[in-house]
């Protein structure tokens, strides 16, 4: 029988998973801040062939240091909460919401460059809320309640409010998170996990 991973190795793998993404965002923001360099052209530009690369790049790019900083704390908090299920679950949610949410922004978003981690953040948020409601285990409900209290204001982010904010990334990130949360909660209930 295989030994269960120790608490220390679980904490280490969780830290690595989250902070490697934060580090990539930080390095790209430093590069993006250098004179004469603009990486945000690698963001999602809807319905253009060149804009498809943005589905992979956009979550790691930010429009300003304020944009970068305002995304990091909710990303870390929500990621840590999903890692309470497993680090593998975190990677699955991150990748799914980045790809599916990004593809939906590419298909339906405004003609503008869309960058930032907020689409994934909304995906993490949507996943946690939907998973808790559908799974209905004690742990999933407690995590969902914590997120509902901490980030209740996120509901307004899916509505068009400010021109320079990609509400489309928020909306499609949240929808992809809800979808995955529903599917995995149903699957976990059937398995009794």
Q: Where along the chain do its domains lie?
A: 7-191
**Tokens (6 digits) for 67:** 């944009």
Q: Are 74 and 153 in contact (CB under 8 A)?
A: no
Q: Are 44 and 114 in contact (CB under 8 A)?
A: yes
Query: Rounded distance, CA 160 to CA 154, Å?
Result: 13
CATH 1.20.1540.10 fits 7-191, yes or no: yes
Q: For the beta carbon of residue 181, count every other beta carbon within 10 angstroms.
A: 27
Backbone torsions φ then ψ of 114, nearest 5 degrees: -110, 120
pLDDT tens by residue, the chain, 193 residues? 455 555 666 567 888 989 999 999 999 999 999 999 999 999 999 999 999 999 999 999 999 999 999 999 999 999 999 999 999 999 999 999 999 999 999 999 999 999 999 999 999 999 999 999 999 999 999 999 999 999 999 999 888 888 888 999 999 999 999 999 999 999 998 887 6
Helix runs in the chain, H state only:
7-32, 54-57, 65-82, 87-108, 118-135, 138-150, 154-157, 167-191
């Amino acid at each position: 029988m295989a030994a269960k991973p120790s608490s220390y190795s679980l904490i280490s793998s969780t830290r690595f998973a989250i902070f490697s993404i934060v580090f990539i965002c930080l390095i790209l923001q430093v590069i993006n801040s250098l004179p004469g360099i603009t990486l945000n052209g690698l963001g999602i530009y809807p319905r253009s062939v060149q804009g498809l690369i943005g589905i992979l790049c956009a979550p790691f790019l930010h429009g300003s240091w304020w944009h970068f900083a305002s995304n990091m704390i909710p990303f870390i908090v929500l990621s840590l909460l999903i890692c309470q299920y497993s680090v593998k679950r975190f990677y699955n949610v991150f990748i799914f919401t980045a790809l599916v949410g990004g593809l939906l922004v590419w298909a339906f978003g405004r003609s503008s460059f869309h960058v930032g981690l907020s689409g994934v953040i909304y995906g993490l948020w949507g996943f946690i809320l939907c998973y808790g409601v559908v799974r209905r285990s004690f742990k999933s409900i407690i995590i969902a309640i914590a997120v509902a209290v901490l980030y209740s204001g996120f509901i307004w982010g899916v509505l068009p409010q400010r021109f320079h904010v990609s509400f489309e990334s928020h909306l499609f990130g949240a929808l992809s998170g809800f979808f995955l949360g529903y599917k995995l909660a149903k699957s976990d209930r059937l398995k009794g996990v």
